[in-house]
Amino acid sequence: MRKTYTLVSILMATVHAAAQTDARPNIVYIMTDDHTEQMMSAYGHSPIQTPNLDRLAHEGVLFSESFVANSLSGPSRACMITGKHSHKNGFTNNEHGIFDGSQQTMPKLMQQAGYQTALIGKWHLVSKPTGFDFYDILPGQGDYYNPTFIHQDGTRSVEKGYCTNIITDKSIAWMEQRDPSRPFILFVHHKACHRDWLPEMKYIREFEDQTFELPDNFRDTWEGRTAAQQQEMSIASSHDMDMVYDTKIYIPGDHTRLTDDYLGKISRLDSADSQIYHQFYDSLSLSFKQHPLEGDALTEYKFQRYMRDYAKVTRSLDDNVGRLLNYLEENHLLDNTLVVYTSDQGFYMGEHGWFDKRFMYEESLRTPLVMRLPKGYERRGEVSDMVQNIDYAPTFLEMAGAPIPKDIQGESLVPLLKGKNTQGKWRKAIYYHFYEYPAEHAVKRHYGIRTGGWKLIHFYNDIDQWELYDLKTDPTEMHNLYGNPRYAKQQKRLHKQLLKLQKKYDDPIESQLK
Ligand code: SGN
Ligand code: CA
């Protein structure tokens, strides 16, 4: 009898605790690394299917004009958590940056507003995370196979398994033990789909029958674009895209500069997985050795290998987004949770002949953004207003009913999510600034403005070149119109608009260059 009584009281307590007494929406923010719109089927032109990511879009909203402020991991993450451009949050580049965690951040403000805050996965801001009740992060870029995690007490441990699955397991485990009476914001930061695209064993043979179409401008020779000519992110170049490290093809005797890095990653596998891995890539290497390729044929071969491995990594990612959504659904959390899916930037899938990001050209300036909305937010379908990753912080704060500090530079997306008519008042242009040069991939420093139909970019530092694009007639940005008298009017107008944005965001770069 006593036993039954105890059980009933425990059950009652659980039911009571399960009701979230604070009705503000939860937020699950899923951010991947280097996942791009071209590889997400909801965006309409992907060669692979991403059903779970698409589910978010179909049940919620898809932002068709979504951009970053600085197309690189650390800087992008810093923009996201501060709601400010790089020159204001101080984290301008991966190579020399340490994020000043004592500054105001959105996670801190959410915490102060009574939210439980947790961060799991890639952090990449060097300093210790601040503003999180709980964190469990990857060191630096992290590893796909049996990754090491840095726990909140400073200790590290190697966790068995595939990184994308582990990050999801940890996210679910955190939600399981949270205080159900208070709202939460959970940041799920995947390593996928970052270089060097190491697949989960169960998908190692997926996509091998698929031949990916080359983008129209795959053989771009970058005329009229000096910075593009001098980049080091070309699929064709053996220096930029390495046969061993990137395409996982061993050419006997060809011990490239990255072999040790590659072996370091592969040696993390335990013996059963290592066998599967080697069986697969060794057989590819063997057939390559029997039928060696060169010139254009070799470049196209590298492109196919790149696309297939990227697709495999994306497949595991899509599964795991599905797992997380199912967890929310099964636990009756979906109705009152904002689920955001985005990436730290877009990526080149062979456009201009490239991989990687950094440039202000469309593929890497854009980032996928879909949201499944909590009750009370009625908007559905495509949102075509121009949004940027500095907008997430004010959006989450407004949803939490917390004040938005004046120095936050992004705009809250709440009016858009409520389906309100913004009466033409929404921004008509976005500002971009990339700083990491000299550095890997050799993309020059640049800043610029993108409007609905035009783009003006200034490459500076060891170069002084402007580029102007008419995005309506030249969406793949092949023709630099800068200085062409036919476009003098647009050029002048964009220069003016750019200066206005730099004034608005208080970026002193133009005066520094004079
Ligand atoms: C690593 C990669 C680069 C990549 C940067 C930044 N090289 O250095 O290809 O551009 O990260 O990526 S690797 O040999 O280590 O794979 S970011 O997404 O973290 O900004
Ligand atoms: Ca990235």
Q: Strand order of the sheet with strand 454-460? A: 429-434, 445-451, 454-460, 465-470
Pocket test for ligand 1, best of 76, 141, 243 (most atoms within 8 A of CB): 141
pLDDT at 110: 98
Residue 29 has pLDDT above 70, yes or no: yes
pLDDT at 444: 98
In angstroms, the CA 29 to CA 18 distance is 22
By the 10 Å C-beta count (0-12 exposed, 13-18 middle, 19+ buried), 251 is classed as middle
pLDDT at 252: 63
Sign (positive or negative) of CA dihedral 54, 56, 60, 64? negative
Q: Which residues pair with 62 in a beta bridge?
A: 370, 382
Residue 132: pLDDT band (50, 70, 90) is: very high
Residue 12: pLDDT band (50, 70, 90) is: very low
Q: What own/partner pairs with CB < 8 Å and gap ≥ 24 does 40-49 have? A: 40/368, 42/370, 43/368, 47/210, 47/212, 47/213, 47/307, 47/311, 48/207, 48/210, 48/311, 48/314, 48/315
In angstroms, the CA 263 to CA 277 distance is 12
pLDDT at 431: 98
CA angle 57/63/65 to nearest 5° reads: 150
Among all chains, which residue has been given the structure tokens 């949004």? Answer: 387
* Ligand 1 atom with least separation from CA of 76: 20
Residue 263 has pLDDT above 80, yes or no: yes
- How many Å lie between the centroid of ligand 2 and the Cα of residue 21? 37
Q: Which of 188-202, 264-278, 413-427 has the lowest mean pLDDT?
A: 413-427
Q: How far is CA 359 from the centre of its chain?
A: 15
pLDDT tens figures, 109-125: 999 999 999 999 999 99
pLDDT at 514: 84
Mean predicted confidence (pLDDT) in 169-187:
98
By the 10 Å C-beta count (0-12 exposed, 13-18 middle, 19+ buried), 226 is classed as middle
Residue 421: pLDDT band (50, 70, 90) is: confident
CA nearest neighbour of 87 among 364, 367, 445, 473: 445
pLDDT at 3: 42
Pocket test for ligand 1, best of 96, 126, 440 (most atoms within 8 A of CB): 440
Determine contact, residues 380/61, Cβ cutoff 8 Å. Answer: yes
pLDDT at 452: 97
pLDDT tens figures, 425-469: 999 999 999 999 999 999 999 999 999 999 999 999 999 999 999
Ligand 1: residues with CB < 6 A are 33-34, 72-73, 94, 141, 194-196, 344, 356, 440-441
pLDDT at 462: 97
pLDDT tens figures, 358-416: 999 999 999 999 999 999 999 999 999 999 999 999 999 999 999 999 999 999 999 99
- How many Å lie between the centroid of ligand 1 and the Cα of residue 195? 7
Kindly state the percentage of the chain with pLDDT values over 90: 90
CA nearest neighbour of 160 among 174, 173, 144, 147: 147
* Ligand 1 atom with least separation from CA of 141: 19
pLDDT at 261: 86
Residue 20 has pLDDT above 90, yes or no: no
Residue 11: pLDDT band (50, 70, 90) is: very low
- Atom 8 in ligand 1: which residue has the minimum CA distance? 440
Residue 96: pLDDT band (50, 70, 90) is: confident
CA nearest neighbour of 114 among 463, 397, 330: 397
In angstroms, the CA 158 to CA 468 distance is 48
Determine contact, residues 80/393, Cβ cutoff 8 Å. Answer: yes
* Ligand 1 atom with least separation from CA of 261: 14
DSSP single-letter state for residue 505: T
Q: Pick the more confident residue, 307 or 262.
A: 307
| Two structure tokens written together for 504 | 């608005």
Residue 270: pLDDT band (50, 70, 90) is: very high
Alpha helix positions (H), 141-294: 163-177, 226-229, 259-266, 271-290
Phi, psi values for residue 154, rounded to 5°: 90, -15
Kindly state the percentage of the chain with pLDDT values over 70: 95
In angstroms, the CA 237 to CA 239 distance is 5
Residue 312, sorted as left (phi over 0), alpha (psi -120 to 50) or beta, turns out to be alpha
pLDDT tens figures, 325-336: 999 999 999 999
In angstroms, the CA 33 to CA 368 distance is 11
Residue 5: pLDDT band (50, 70, 90) is: very low
Q: Which helix (H) or strand (E) holds 509?
A: helix 509-513
pLDDT tens figures, 58-91: 999 999 999 999 999 999 999 999 999 999 999 9
Helix axes 295-330, 163-177, angle to 10 degrees: 20
First to last CA, the chain: 85
Q: Which ligand is nearest to the CA of 141?
A: 1
In angstroms, the CA 427 to CA 450 distance is 11
* Ligand 1 atom with least separation from CA of 344: 18
- How many Å lie between the centroid of ligand 1 and the Cα of residue 436? 12
CA nearest neighbour of 346 among 317, 315, 367: 367
Q: Which ligand is nearest to the CA of 357?
A: 1
pLDDT at 510: 86
Residue 265: pLDDT band (50, 70, 90) is: very high
pTM score of the predicted model: 0.95
Q: What is the mean pLDDT of the chain?
A: 94
For residue 503, the SS3 value is helix
Rounded to a whole number of angstroms, the CA Rg of the chain reads 23
pLDDT at 495: 98
